[in-house]
Structure 1
Amino acid sequence: MEAHTDLPDWRRTERQRLIAAREGVPAGQRTARNGVITALLDQGFPALRRLIVGFCWPYRGEFDARFVIRTLRIAGARAALPDVAARATPLVFREWWPGVAMTKRVFDLPVPDGTAVVQPQALLIPLVGFDERGFRLGYGGGYFDRTLAAQTVQPLRIGIGFELSRIQTIHPQPHDVAMDFIVTEAGIHSVGTGGLERIDTAECAHRAQALFDERFSAE
Protein backbone atom coordinates (compact mmCIF):
# COMPACT_ATOMS: atom_id res chain seq x y z
CA MET A 1 0.00 0.00 0.00
CA GLU A 2 1.05 3.60 -0.51
CA ALA A 3 2.22 6.33 1.83
CA HIS A 4 0.96 9.87 1.32
CA THR A 5 1.65 12.98 3.35
CA ASP A 6 -1.51 14.44 4.91
CA LEU A 7 -3.65 11.72 3.34
CA PRO A 8 -6.88 12.60 5.23
CA ASP A 9 -6.66 16.22 4.04
CA TRP A 10 -5.89 15.14 0.49
CA ARG A 11 -8.82 12.73 0.42
CA ARG A 12 -11.15 15.34 1.89
CA THR A 13 -10.20 17.86 -0.76
CA GLU A 14 -10.40 15.30 -3.56
CA ARG A 15 -13.77 14.08 -2.31
CA GLN A 16 -15.16 17.61 -2.34
CA ARG A 17 -13.83 18.22 -5.85
CA LEU A 18 -15.28 15.00 -7.25
CA ILE A 19 -18.70 15.46 -5.65
CA ALA A 20 -18.90 19.02 -6.97
CA ALA A 21 -18.00 17.83 -10.47
CA ARG A 22 -20.63 15.09 -10.28
CA GLU A 23 -23.33 17.44 -9.02
CA GLY A 24 -22.46 19.86 -11.82
CA VAL A 25 -23.43 17.41 -14.57
CA PRO A 26 -26.60 18.61 -16.34
CA ALA A 27 -29.69 16.55 -15.52
CA GLY A 28 -30.10 15.28 -19.07
CA GLN A 29 -26.53 13.99 -19.23
CA ARG A 30 -26.86 12.34 -15.83
CA THR A 31 -30.05 10.60 -16.94
CA ALA A 32 -28.37 9.35 -20.11
CA ARG A 33 -25.36 8.03 -18.20
CA ASN A 34 -27.64 6.36 -15.67
CA GLY A 35 -29.41 4.59 -18.52
CA VAL A 36 -26.17 3.29 -20.00
CA ILE A 37 -24.94 1.99 -16.64
CA THR A 38 -28.30 0.39 -15.87
CA ALA A 39 -28.16 -1.53 -19.16
CA LEU A 40 -24.56 -2.63 -18.52
CA LEU A 41 -25.47 -3.95 -15.07
CA ASP A 42 -28.50 -5.80 -16.41
CA GLN A 43 -26.60 -7.40 -19.29
CA GLY A 44 -23.27 -7.95 -17.55
CA PHE A 45 -24.48 -9.40 -14.26
CA PRO A 46 -27.34 -11.84 -14.91
CA ALA A 47 -26.24 -13.72 -11.76
CA LEU A 48 -27.73 -10.88 -9.70
CA ARG A 49 -31.24 -11.91 -10.70
CA ARG A 50 -31.22 -14.72 -8.14
CA LEU A 51 -29.24 -13.05 -5.35
CA ILE A 52 -29.76 -10.71 -2.42
CA VAL A 53 -28.42 -7.41 -3.76
CA GLY A 54 -27.43 -4.51 -1.55
CA PHE A 55 -27.69 -1.04 -3.06
CA CYS A 56 -27.70 2.59 -1.94
CA TRP A 57 -30.36 5.25 -2.29
CA PRO A 58 -28.96 7.89 -4.69
CA TYR A 59 -27.15 10.74 -2.97
CA ARG A 60 -25.66 13.97 -4.34
CA GLY A 61 -25.70 13.11 -8.03
CA GLU A 62 -24.78 9.43 -7.67
CA PHE A 63 -25.86 6.74 -10.07
CA ASP A 64 -29.50 5.88 -9.36
CA ALA A 65 -29.56 2.12 -8.77
CA ARG A 66 -33.33 1.93 -8.26
CA PHE A 67 -34.02 1.25 -11.93
CA VAL A 68 -31.75 -1.78 -12.20
CA ILE A 69 -32.98 -2.99 -8.81
CA ARG A 70 -36.53 -2.89 -10.13
CA THR A 71 -35.49 -5.06 -13.09
CA LEU A 72 -33.59 -7.46 -10.84
CA ARG A 73 -36.50 -7.83 -8.41
CA ILE A 74 -38.89 -8.62 -11.25
CA ALA A 75 -36.48 -11.38 -12.29
CA GLY A 76 -36.37 -12.85 -8.78
CA ALA A 77 -33.71 -10.96 -6.82
CA ARG A 78 -34.17 -9.55 -3.31
CA ALA A 79 -32.94 -6.05 -2.50
CA ALA A 80 -31.55 -4.46 0.63
CA LEU A 81 -30.53 -0.99 1.80
CA PRO A 82 -27.76 -0.21 4.30
CA ASP A 83 -28.45 1.04 7.80
CA VAL A 84 -25.85 2.57 10.10
CA ALA A 85 -26.44 0.75 13.38
CA ALA A 86 -23.69 2.66 15.22
CA ARG A 87 -20.62 4.74 14.43
CA ALA A 88 -17.47 2.83 13.43
CA THR A 89 -19.35 -0.46 12.99
CA PRO A 90 -20.21 -2.51 9.89
CA LEU A 91 -23.37 -1.64 8.02
CA VAL A 92 -26.56 -3.62 8.57
CA PHE A 93 -28.65 -4.36 5.47
CA ARG A 94 -32.44 -4.37 5.69
CA GLU A 95 -34.63 -5.88 3.01
CA TRP A 96 -36.34 -3.33 0.78
CA TRP A 97 -39.23 -3.46 -1.66
CA PRO A 98 -41.36 -0.74 -3.29
CA GLY A 99 -43.83 0.76 -0.84
CA VAL A 100 -42.12 -0.46 2.33
CA ALA A 101 -42.21 1.99 5.24
CA MET A 102 -38.97 4.02 5.43
CA THR A 103 -37.22 6.12 8.05
CA LYS A 104 -34.61 8.79 7.30
CA ARG A 105 -31.25 8.14 8.91
CA VAL A 106 -27.65 9.20 8.16
CA PHE A 107 -27.40 11.92 5.45
CA ASP A 108 -31.24 11.95 5.54
CA LEU A 109 -31.21 8.81 3.42
CA PRO A 110 -34.21 6.48 3.79
CA VAL A 111 -33.84 3.08 5.46
CA PRO A 112 -36.52 0.36 5.59
CA ASP A 113 -38.36 0.62 8.89
CA GLY A 114 -37.82 -2.61 10.81
CA THR A 115 -37.65 -5.08 7.89
CA ALA A 116 -35.57 -8.24 8.12
CA VAL A 117 -31.80 -7.95 8.34
CA VAL A 118 -30.28 -9.84 5.41
CA GLN A 119 -26.77 -10.60 4.16
CA PRO A 120 -26.27 -9.39 0.58
CA GLN A 121 -24.45 -11.73 -1.78
CA ALA A 122 -23.65 -8.79 -4.06
CA LEU A 123 -23.20 -5.09 -3.38
CA LEU A 124 -23.71 -2.19 -5.78
CA ILE A 125 -21.30 0.25 -4.16
CA PRO A 126 -21.33 3.95 -5.08
CA LEU A 127 -18.01 5.56 -5.95
CA VAL A 128 -17.11 9.13 -5.12
CA GLY A 129 -13.86 8.32 -6.87
CA PHE A 130 -12.00 5.26 -8.12
CA ASP A 131 -8.48 4.61 -9.27
CA GLU A 132 -6.63 2.56 -11.86
CA ARG A 133 -6.22 -0.35 -9.44
CA GLY A 134 -9.88 -0.62 -8.57
CA PHE A 135 -9.80 1.06 -5.18
CA ARG A 136 -12.71 3.24 -4.11
CA LEU A 137 -12.85 6.69 -2.59
CA GLY A 138 -16.03 6.95 -0.52
CA TYR A 139 -17.54 9.56 1.77
CA GLY A 140 -14.94 9.15 4.49
CA GLY A 141 -16.88 7.19 7.09
CA GLY A 142 -15.24 3.86 6.30
CA TYR A 143 -18.53 1.97 6.58
CA PHE A 144 -18.18 -0.13 3.45
CA ASP A 145 -14.57 -1.01 4.26
CA ARG A 146 -15.57 -2.18 7.75
CA THR A 147 -18.55 -4.05 6.33
CA LEU A 148 -16.45 -5.91 3.77
CA ALA A 149 -13.68 -6.65 6.30
CA ALA A 150 -16.26 -8.26 8.59
CA GLN A 151 -17.54 -10.70 5.94
CA THR A 152 -16.29 -14.27 6.09
CA VAL A 153 -17.51 -14.80 2.54
CA GLN A 154 -17.05 -11.76 0.35
CA PRO A 155 -20.03 -10.53 -1.70
CA LEU A 156 -19.54 -9.55 -5.30
CA ARG A 157 -18.16 -6.03 -5.01
CA ILE A 158 -19.49 -3.96 -7.90
CA GLY A 159 -18.40 -0.34 -7.76
CA ILE A 160 -20.53 2.09 -9.74
CA GLY A 161 -19.59 5.61 -10.74
CA PHE A 162 -18.97 7.96 -13.63
CA GLU A 163 -15.84 8.45 -15.68
CA LEU A 164 -15.39 11.92 -14.22
CA SER A 165 -14.73 10.15 -10.90
CA ARG A 166 -11.67 8.30 -12.23
CA ILE A 167 -8.35 9.36 -10.69
CA GLN A 168 -4.86 7.90 -10.92
CA THR A 169 -4.72 6.67 -7.33
CA ILE A 170 -6.55 7.05 -4.03
CA HIS A 171 -3.28 6.17 -2.26
CA PRO A 172 -4.78 2.96 -0.85
CA GLN A 173 -4.11 1.98 2.75
CA PRO A 174 -4.27 -1.47 4.41
CA HIS A 175 -7.94 -1.02 5.32
CA ASP A 176 -9.01 -0.13 1.76
CA VAL A 177 -10.76 -2.91 -0.16
CA ALA A 178 -10.60 -3.05 -3.96
CA MET A 179 -13.72 -3.67 -6.00
CA ASP A 180 -14.21 -6.83 -8.08
CA PHE A 181 -15.73 -4.82 -10.92
CA ILE A 182 -16.18 -1.14 -11.68
CA VAL A 183 -18.98 0.00 -13.97
CA THR A 184 -19.17 3.46 -15.54
CA GLU A 185 -20.89 4.89 -18.58
CA ALA A 186 -17.74 3.91 -20.53
CA GLY A 187 -18.16 0.20 -19.81
CA ILE A 188 -17.43 -2.62 -17.38
CA HIS A 189 -13.98 -3.02 -15.88
CA SER A 190 -12.74 -6.15 -14.15
CA VAL A 191 -10.28 -5.53 -11.32
CA GLY A 192 -7.21 -7.75 -11.33
CA THR A 193 -3.60 -7.69 -10.23
CA GLY A 194 -2.77 -5.53 -13.22
CA GLY A 195 -5.49 -3.00 -12.44
CA LEU A 196 -8.62 -2.24 -14.43
CA GLU A 197 -9.36 -4.34 -17.50
CA ARG A 198 -12.18 -3.33 -19.83
CA ILE A 199 -14.42 -6.32 -20.66
CA ASP A 200 -17.66 -6.80 -22.55
CA THR A 201 -20.94 -7.88 -20.98
CA ALA A 202 -20.59 -11.54 -21.98
CA GLU A 203 -17.14 -11.82 -20.41
CA CYS A 204 -18.40 -9.99 -17.34
CA ALA A 205 -21.29 -12.41 -16.94
CA HIS A 206 -18.83 -15.32 -17.12
CA ARG A 207 -16.36 -13.82 -14.64
CA ALA A 208 -19.02 -12.69 -12.17
CA GLN A 209 -20.65 -16.12 -12.13
CA ALA A 210 -17.28 -17.85 -11.70
CA LEU A 211 -16.34 -15.53 -8.85
CA PHE A 212 -19.68 -16.06 -7.14
CA ASP A 213 -19.38 -19.84 -7.48
CA GLU A 214 -15.83 -19.75 -6.07
CA ARG A 215 -16.87 -17.72 -3.02
CA PHE A 216 -20.22 -19.29 -2.27
CA SER A 217 -19.69 -22.91 -3.30
CA ALA A 218 -19.40 -24.01 0.33
CA GLU A 219 -22.47 -22.09 1.43
Structure 2
Amino acid sequence: MTKFVTASIIGCAILAGCTDAQRGPDMFDLEAGAMVDGGSFGGATMHNALVQTGQQDFVVSLNRRFEAEVPTTINFDFNSARLGAEAQRILTEQAYFIQQFPEVHFRVYGHTDLVGSDSYNKELGLARANAAVAYLISLGVDRSRLEAVVSFGEEQPLIVTEGRERANRRTVTEVSGFVSGNGMVLNGKYAQIVFREYVESAVPRTGLVGISGSEVSTTN
Protein backbone atom coordinates (compact mmCIF):
# COMPACT_ATOMS: atom_id res chain seq x y z
CA MET A 1 0.00 0.00 0.00
CA THR A 2 2.85 2.36 0.89
CA LYS A 3 4.53 1.75 -2.48
CA PHE A 4 1.25 2.48 -4.26
CA VAL A 5 0.80 5.81 -2.41
CA THR A 6 4.41 6.78 -3.10
CA ALA A 7 4.04 5.99 -6.78
CA SER A 8 0.83 7.99 -6.92
CA ILE A 9 2.50 11.03 -5.35
CA ILE A 10 5.41 10.85 -7.82
CA GLY A 11 2.99 10.50 -10.71
CA CYS A 12 1.03 13.57 -9.61
CA ALA A 13 4.24 15.58 -9.26
CA ILE A 14 5.30 14.66 -12.79
CA LEU A 15 1.90 15.64 -14.18
CA ALA A 16 2.00 18.90 -12.25
CA GLY A 17 5.33 19.72 -13.86
CA CYS A 18 3.92 19.41 -17.36
CA THR A 19 3.06 22.59 -19.21
CA ASP A 20 -0.49 23.33 -20.31
CA ALA A 21 0.52 22.59 -23.88
CA GLN A 22 1.68 19.09 -22.86
CA ARG A 23 -1.41 18.16 -20.86
CA GLY A 24 -4.34 16.47 -22.50
CA PRO A 25 -5.49 13.09 -23.74
CA ASP A 26 -3.39 13.27 -26.91
CA MET A 27 -0.02 14.16 -25.36
CA PHE A 28 1.27 10.63 -25.96
CA ASP A 29 0.15 10.68 -29.59
CA LEU A 30 2.82 13.23 -30.52
CA GLU A 31 6.02 12.31 -32.30
CA ALA A 32 9.02 11.23 -30.25
CA GLY A 33 10.81 14.17 -28.69
CA ALA A 34 7.92 16.62 -29.12
CA MET A 35 7.37 16.98 -25.37
CA VAL A 36 10.95 18.00 -24.67
CA ASP A 37 11.68 20.02 -27.80
CA GLY A 38 12.05 23.58 -26.63
CA GLY A 39 12.73 24.83 -30.14
CA SER A 40 16.50 24.42 -29.95
CA PHE A 41 16.83 20.93 -31.39
CA GLY A 42 17.20 22.24 -34.92
CA GLY A 43 19.82 24.72 -33.77
CA ALA A 44 21.82 21.98 -32.09
CA THR A 45 21.58 19.80 -35.19
CA MET A 46 22.74 22.64 -37.42
CA HIS A 47 25.62 23.42 -35.07
CA ASN A 48 26.72 19.77 -35.11
CA ALA A 49 26.51 19.66 -38.89
CA LEU A 50 28.63 22.81 -39.20
CA VAL A 51 31.24 21.42 -36.81
CA GLN A 52 31.39 18.01 -38.51
CA THR A 53 31.78 19.53 -41.98
CA GLY A 54 34.45 21.91 -40.75
CA GLN A 55 32.45 25.06 -41.38
CA GLN A 56 32.12 26.17 -37.77
CA ASP A 57 35.84 26.11 -37.04
CA PHE A 58 36.57 28.17 -40.13
CA VAL A 59 33.79 30.64 -39.33
CA VAL A 60 35.44 31.18 -35.95
CA SER A 61 38.87 31.48 -37.60
CA LEU A 62 37.66 34.03 -40.13
CA ASN A 63 35.88 36.03 -37.44
CA ARG A 64 39.11 36.15 -35.43
CA ARG A 65 40.94 37.39 -38.50
CA PHE A 66 38.22 39.99 -39.09
CA GLU A 67 38.56 41.22 -35.49
CA ALA A 68 42.36 41.33 -35.80
CA GLU A 69 42.45 43.27 -39.08
CA VAL A 70 39.41 45.55 -38.89
CA PRO A 71 37.64 47.51 -36.13
CA THR A 72 34.37 45.63 -35.67
CA THR A 73 32.60 48.16 -33.42
CA ILE A 74 31.24 51.65 -34.06
CA ASN A 75 29.74 53.97 -31.45
CA PHE A 76 26.87 56.45 -31.40
CA ASP A 77 25.84 59.64 -29.65
CA PHE A 78 23.21 59.43 -26.94
CA ASN A 79 19.71 58.59 -28.24
CA SER A 80 20.96 58.65 -31.84
CA ALA A 81 21.41 56.28 -34.75
CA ARG A 82 23.33 58.82 -36.83
CA LEU A 83 26.71 57.71 -38.14
CA GLY A 84 29.53 60.06 -37.21
CA ALA A 85 32.73 60.53 -39.21
CA GLU A 86 34.64 57.94 -37.17
CA ALA A 87 31.83 55.38 -37.56
CA GLN A 88 31.81 55.93 -41.33
CA ARG A 89 35.58 55.46 -41.48
CA ILE A 90 35.36 52.16 -39.59
CA LEU A 91 32.46 50.92 -41.73
CA THR A 92 34.51 51.74 -44.83
CA GLU A 93 37.26 49.47 -43.52
CA GLN A 94 34.71 46.78 -42.78
CA ALA A 95 33.24 47.05 -46.29
CA TYR A 96 36.67 46.62 -47.87
CA PHE A 97 37.28 43.45 -45.84
CA ILE A 98 33.79 42.08 -46.56
CA GLN A 99 34.21 42.59 -50.28
CA GLN A 100 37.34 40.44 -50.26
CA PHE A 101 35.24 37.46 -49.12
CA PRO A 102 32.19 37.07 -51.41
CA GLU A 103 31.57 33.57 -49.98
CA VAL A 104 30.87 34.87 -46.48
CA HIS A 105 27.85 36.23 -44.59
CA PHE A 106 28.16 38.97 -41.98
CA ARG A 107 25.78 40.03 -39.21
CA VAL A 108 25.39 43.41 -37.52
CA TYR A 109 24.27 43.61 -33.88
CA GLY A 110 22.82 46.80 -32.40
CA HIS A 111 23.27 47.81 -28.74
CA THR A 112 22.29 50.69 -26.45
CA ASP A 113 23.15 51.94 -23.01
CA LEU A 114 20.82 51.29 -20.06
CA VAL A 115 19.02 54.62 -20.16
CA GLY A 116 15.39 54.27 -21.31
CA SER A 117 12.86 51.45 -21.48
CA ASP A 118 13.62 47.97 -22.80
CA SER A 119 11.24 48.33 -25.75
CA TYR A 120 12.61 51.72 -26.76
CA ASN A 121 16.19 50.49 -26.58
CA LYS A 122 15.33 47.47 -28.73
CA GLU A 123 14.06 49.84 -31.41
CA LEU A 124 17.06 52.13 -31.04
CA GLY A 125 19.50 49.22 -31.26
CA LEU A 126 17.77 48.04 -34.42
CA ALA A 127 17.90 51.54 -35.90
CA ARG A 128 21.65 51.65 -35.26
CA ALA A 129 22.17 48.24 -36.85
CA ASN A 130 20.07 49.32 -39.85
CA ALA A 131 22.13 52.50 -40.20
CA ALA A 132 25.36 50.49 -40.26
CA VAL A 133 23.95 48.01 -42.78
CA ALA A 134 22.67 50.81 -45.03
CA TYR A 135 26.11 52.41 -45.06
CA LEU A 136 27.82 49.11 -45.90
CA ILE A 137 25.37 48.65 -48.77
CA SER A 138 26.10 52.17 -50.02
CA LEU A 139 29.76 51.15 -50.23
CA GLY A 140 28.93 48.22 -52.51
CA VAL A 141 28.31 45.34 -50.12
CA ASP A 142 25.54 43.03 -51.35
CA ARG A 143 22.56 43.21 -48.96
CA SER A 144 22.03 39.45 -49.24
CA ARG A 145 25.43 38.90 -47.62
CA LEU A 146 24.43 40.86 -44.52
CA GLU A 147 22.61 37.86 -43.12
CA ALA A 148 20.65 39.57 -40.39
CA VAL A 149 20.18 42.80 -38.49
CA VAL A 150 19.81 42.09 -34.78
CA SER A 151 19.14 44.34 -31.80
CA PHE A 152 20.24 43.36 -28.30
CA GLY A 153 19.09 46.73 -26.99
CA GLU A 154 20.51 47.16 -23.49
CA GLU A 155 20.92 43.42 -22.79
CA GLN A 156 24.70 43.21 -23.29
CA PRO A 157 26.41 46.33 -21.92
CA LEU A 158 30.19 46.48 -22.04
CA ILE A 159 30.12 48.69 -18.95
CA VAL A 160 27.31 48.09 -16.47
CA THR A 161 25.99 51.50 -15.46
CA GLU A 162 22.60 53.18 -15.42
CA GLY A 163 24.16 56.35 -16.81
CA ARG A 164 24.96 57.43 -20.35
CA GLU A 165 27.86 55.22 -21.42
CA ARG A 166 29.13 55.72 -24.98
CA ALA A 167 30.92 52.36 -25.04
CA ASN A 168 27.53 50.64 -24.74
CA ARG A 169 25.97 52.63 -27.61
CA ARG A 170 27.36 50.59 -30.46
CA THR A 171 26.97 48.14 -33.30
CA VAL A 172 29.21 45.12 -33.73
CA THR A 173 29.82 43.38 -37.07
CA GLU A 174 30.67 39.67 -37.05
CA VAL A 175 31.20 36.80 -39.48
CA SER A 176 28.05 34.66 -39.33
CA GLY A 177 28.59 31.90 -41.91
CA PHE A 178 29.22 30.95 -45.50
CA VAL A 179 27.04 31.67 -48.53
CA SER A 180 25.22 28.46 -49.48
CA GLY A 181 25.57 27.48 -53.11
CA ASN A 182 28.91 29.20 -53.63
CA GLY A 183 31.36 27.01 -55.53
CA MET A 184 34.12 27.30 -52.96
CA VAL A 185 31.70 26.44 -50.15
CA LEU A 186 30.20 23.49 -52.02
CA ASN A 187 33.70 22.09 -52.43
CA GLY A 188 34.43 22.62 -48.75
CA LYS A 189 37.39 24.90 -49.46
CA TYR A 190 36.91 26.90 -46.28
CA ALA A 191 40.63 27.15 -45.53
CA GLN A 192 41.27 28.71 -48.94
CA ILE A 193 38.56 31.27 -48.22
CA VAL A 194 39.80 32.16 -44.74
CA PHE A 195 43.47 32.29 -45.67
CA ARG A 196 42.99 33.47 -49.26
CA GLU A 197 45.80 35.97 -49.59
CA TYR A 198 48.27 33.68 -47.84
CA VAL A 199 47.47 30.80 -50.19
CA GLU A 200 47.65 33.02 -53.27
CA SER A 201 50.94 34.51 -52.17
CA ALA A 202 52.57 31.07 -52.46
CA VAL A 203 51.33 30.47 -56.02
CA PRO A 204 53.84 31.34 -58.82
CA ARG A 205 52.69 34.35 -60.82
CA THR A 206 53.33 34.57 -64.57
CA GLY A 207 52.96 37.42 -67.00
CA LEU A 208 55.83 39.64 -65.82
CA VAL A 209 58.21 40.63 -68.58
CA GLY A 210 61.95 40.57 -67.93
CA ILE A 211 64.66 42.82 -69.36
CA SER A 212 65.17 40.41 -72.24
CA GLY A 213 61.52 40.62 -73.15
CA SER A 214 60.78 37.02 -72.14
CA GLU A 215 58.04 36.10 -69.69
CA VAL A 216 59.27 35.21 -66.24
CA SER A 217 57.75 33.46 -63.26
CA THR A 218 58.09 34.84 -59.76
CA THR A 219 56.99 33.90 -56.26
CA ASN A 220 56.38 36.13 -53.26
TM-score exceeds 0.5: no
| Greater helix fraction, Structure 1 or Structure 2 | 2
* TM-score (normalizing by structure 2): 0.25
* TM-score (normalizing by structure 1): 0.25
| Greater strand fraction, Structure 1 or Structure 2 | 1
